[in-house]
Structure 1
Amino acid sequence: MSHEDITLPHLPLPAECRAGVDALALRWKKANGPVMALLTRFGGRLEDQMSILPAGFRERAEGVTAAALERAWMVARQGGRLPGTGDRGTLAAAIGAGIAGGAGGIMGALAELPFTITVLLHAIRREAEKLGYDPDDPWIMSEALRTFGSGSPIAADDGINTAFFSARAALTGPALNQLIASVAPKLAATLGQKLMAQAVPVMGAVSGAAINAAFLRYYREMAAIRFGLLRLAEEHGAGPVLKQFATATARPRITKD
Structure 2
Amino acid sequence: MTQSAPVLPPLTPATEAEIAALSRRARQAGGPLMKVISFAGSRAEGLMAHIPDAMRTRIEDATAFGLRRCYSAANMARSSTRLPASGKHGHRIAAVLSGGAGGLGGLPSAVVELPATVSIFFAAIQKVAVEYGFDPNDEAVRLECLRVFGSGTPFEEDDGVNTAFLASRLAMTGIGAQGMIATIAPRLAAVLSQKLAAQTVPVLGAVTGATVNLAFITYYQELAHVRFGLLKLAKAHPEGEVMQAFRAAGAKALR
TM-score when scaled to structure 1? 0.84
Count of paired positions? 243
Following superposition, the deviation at residue 143 of structure 1 comes to 0.3
Task: Tell me if structure 1 keeps the 8 A contact 2:99–2:211.
Answer: yes
Distance 1:33 1:140 in 2: 26
Share of identical aligned residues, percent?
Answer: 42
For 1:246, the equivalent position in structure 2 comes to 247
Residue in structure 2 matching 1:19, options 17, 20, 37: 17
Distance 2:191 2:231 in 1: 25
Task: Tell me if structure 2 keeps the 8 A contact 1:147–1:223.
Answer: yes
Residue in structure 2 matching 1:62, options 60, 63, 76: 60
- For 2:100, give the aligned amino acid: I
Query: Cα 1:140–1:114, aligned 2, differ >3 Å: closer, same or farther?
Result: same
Query: Cα 1:77–1:91, aligned 2, differ >3 Å: closer, same or farther?
Result: closer
Deviations 1:204-225 (A, max 9, x none): 6962111111111110111111
Deviations 1:27-75 (A, max 9, x none): 1111122321211233432334333322222222111111110011111
Distance 2:245 2:206 in 1: 40
For 1:129, the equivalent position in structure 2 comes to 130
For 2:93, the equivalent position in structure 1 comes to 92
TM-score when scaled to structure 2? 0.85
Query: Cα 1:5–1:134, aligned 2, differ >3 Å: closer, same or farther?
Result: farther
Distance 2:28 2:157 in 1: 12
- For 2:199, give the aligned amino acid: Q
Query: Cα 1:139–1:205, aligned 2, differ >3 Å: closer, same or farther?
Result: closer
- 1:214 and 2:215 equivalent? yes
Task: Tell me if structure 2 keeps the 8 A contact 1:102–1:207.
Answer: yes
Root-mean-square deviation (Å): 2.8
Task: Tell me if structure 2 keeps the 8 A contact 1:5–1:237.
Answer: no
3-state secondary structure, aligned to 2:200: coil
For 2:147, the equivalent position in structure 1 comes to 146
Distance 1:197 1:16 in 2: 43
- For 1:65, give the aligned amino acid: T
Question: Which aligned pairs between 1:153-192 and structure 2 lie closer than 5 A?
Answer: 158=156, 161-165=162-166, 166-167=168-169, 169=171, 171-192=172-193
Task: Tell me if structure 2 keeps the 8 A contact 1:5–1:234.
Answer: no
Task: Tell me if structure 1 keeps the 8 A contact 2:155–2:250.
Answer: no
3-state secondary structure, aligned to 1:87: coil
Deviations 1:130-184 (A, max 9, x none): 01111111111110011101217xxx99499212242462x33211111101111
Distance 1:211 1:5 in 2: 46
- 1:112 and 2:113 equivalent? yes
Name structure 1 gaps, 5 residues minimum.
none
- For 1:185, give the aligned amino acid: P
Deviations 1:79-134 (A, max 9, x none): 54664322322122111101100101111111111111111010000001001111
Distance 1:76 1:200 in 2: 31
